[in-house]
Amino acid sequence: MKFKKSDYKICIVGLGYVGLPLAARFSLKGFDVIGFDINETRIEELRNNVDHNNDIELEHLEAFNLNSRISSDSSDIKDCNIFIVTVPTPINKDKTPNLEPVINSSKLIGSLMKKGSIVIYESTVYPGVTDDICMPVLERESAFIFNKDFSTGYSPERIVPGDKVNTIEKIKKVVSASNSNALNVISFLYSSIIDAGIHKASSIKVAEASKVTENIQRDVNIALINEMHQLYSSLGISTNEVIEAASTKWNFMKLTPGLVGGHCISIDPYYLMHKSKMSGYIPNIMLAARKLNDEMGDWVVNNFLEFTKNENIDLKSTIVTLMGYTFKENCSDIRNTKVYELALALQNRGVSFNIWDPFLTEETQEELNKNNIKSYTEYPHDIQLAFICVYHKQILKFLETYNGAVYDYKKLNISL
C-alpha cells in the first residue's frame, strides 16, 4: 500500500513539552498539521513565537507558525483525520492516576472526529487505559463503531525536556495500534519524522507498559544509589568516588544520587502501581523505591543541618542560598521539583534562605513570593552559604570562583 502525506490532516492535542516539538517535526516534514491547546494564553504566546518552556528552538517555532496553524478553537480541528493526544497525566493528592486530561481530550475528539479517523495517544498511562477507558469514550461520543469507523494507537513519548542533543528525531519510537491497517498508517507517520526508526509493539498494552517500565527502572536504580549514598555518607565514604571506581566495570549502570522530581520518573510509577494493586499484586520493589526517593529530601535537610553543626555555622545569623530550583539541570521545567519541598522544610525549621536559579520565570518567582520565599535570577553576590540543589551550568561556573561555604548533598565536597 502506498502512503501519501497529503492523505492525512494531523491534529496534535496538547502543546506542551511533548506536543509542540512533535507538531513542529510533522510540519517540518511536510504534513498538514494543526496544534491544539485549551490554554489560550499558551496559544497566543506561541503565535507570537514565544515559548517560555523552551521546548523547541526559536527558528523551528517560527517555521512552524509559517507552515501550520495553532488554535484553541475546537471547530478548527473537525476536519482532521489523525489525532495525537499529548496531554499531561498527573497524579492526585493520594497519588492515584488523574486521567481527566486524557478523558477530556477523548471526549472532545470523539465529538468531532469523522469516520476513518485514527486517535493516537502519547500520554503516559498504565496498560489498558487506551483500550478500556479512552476507546469507550471515543465510541460513545462519536456514535461510531470501534475498529470499523475509527481506530486507536499508542506511541509513548520519549522527549527529554532540556535535552538539546537527544532530540525527538533521534529517539526510536515505539508504535502500536488497534488493528493492522491502523498500525501501517501510524508506522508511516512516525517513520516519516523519526530518523532513528520505529519499533512495532505487538499490542497497545505492550506499548503502554513499555513506557512506564522505562521510567520505573530508572526510579528503582536511583533509589538504590540514594540508599547507598545515605549509607556511605554515614560511613564517611565518598559516594562519588565509589561510583567512579565501580563504573570502571563495563556493565555497571552509572547513576548519581539525587532528588527525583519532574513529570515522569516521580509520577509514572504510581500509574503502574495503581494498576498492579487493581490486579491484586503488590509491587514491593516499586513501592520501596518510590518511598525512598520521595523521602530523599528529608535526608538532605537533616544532613545539611548536621553539616552546619559540625562546621560551627550559626544558621541564626546566616542566610543560605539554595542554588537551583528546577527539577533537573539546565532545564526550565519546575514540575514536581523537590527543591520546593526542601525550601518549605528549611522554612519550617526557621532557616533564613533565598533561591538563585537562572531559569526562574517571573511567574514562578511570584508563586514563591506568596510563600515568603525570596528568589532571583541575576548572578549572585555576597553569598554566605551555598546549598547546591541543581547542577545548572551557570551554578557550576559560579562555584569555580566561589571561596565561601558550600553544602553539596550529592558529592559532599565541602570547601570553607
Q: Are 151 and 179 in contact (CB under 8 A)?
A: yes
Please give the Cα distance from 243 to 253 (Å, whole number): 9
Nearest to 117 by CA among 34, 182, 184: 182
Average pLDDT, consecutive stretches of 10 residues, N- to C-terminus, the chain (416 residues): 92 95 95 96 93 84 90 96 96 95 98 97 97 98 98 94 83 97 98 97 98 95 96 93 95 94 90 95 96 96 94 94 92 90 94 93 90 88 92 90 90 49
> Which amino acid is located at 214 in the chain?
E
- pLDDT of the residue at 207: 98
- pLDDT of the residue at 269: 94
- pLDDT of the residue at 416: 37
In the set 134, 264, 331, 389, the catalytic residue is: 264
Every domain of the chain with CATH number 3.40.50.720 lies at 5-201, 239-408
CATH H-level, domain 5-201: superfamily: NAD(P)-binding Rossmann-like Domain (3.40.50.720)
- pLDDT of the residue at 363: 87
Whether 264 is catalytic is: yes
Looking only at the bridges linking them, the beta strands covering 374-376 and 385-388 are unpaired
Domain 239-408 belongs to what architecture? 3-Layer(aba) Sandwich (3.40)
- pLDDT of the residue at 182: 98
- pLDDT of the residue at 188: 98
Own/partner contacts of 42-48, CB < 8 Å, gap of 24 or more, are 42/15, 43/15, 43/70, 43/71, 43/72, 46/15, 46/20, 46/70
- pLDDT of the residue at 52: 81
- Taking every pair of C-alpha atoms in the chain, what is the biggest distance, in angstroms? 75
Task: Please identify which residue in the block is written with the cell numbers 527558528.
Answer: 59
* pTM given for the model: 0.92
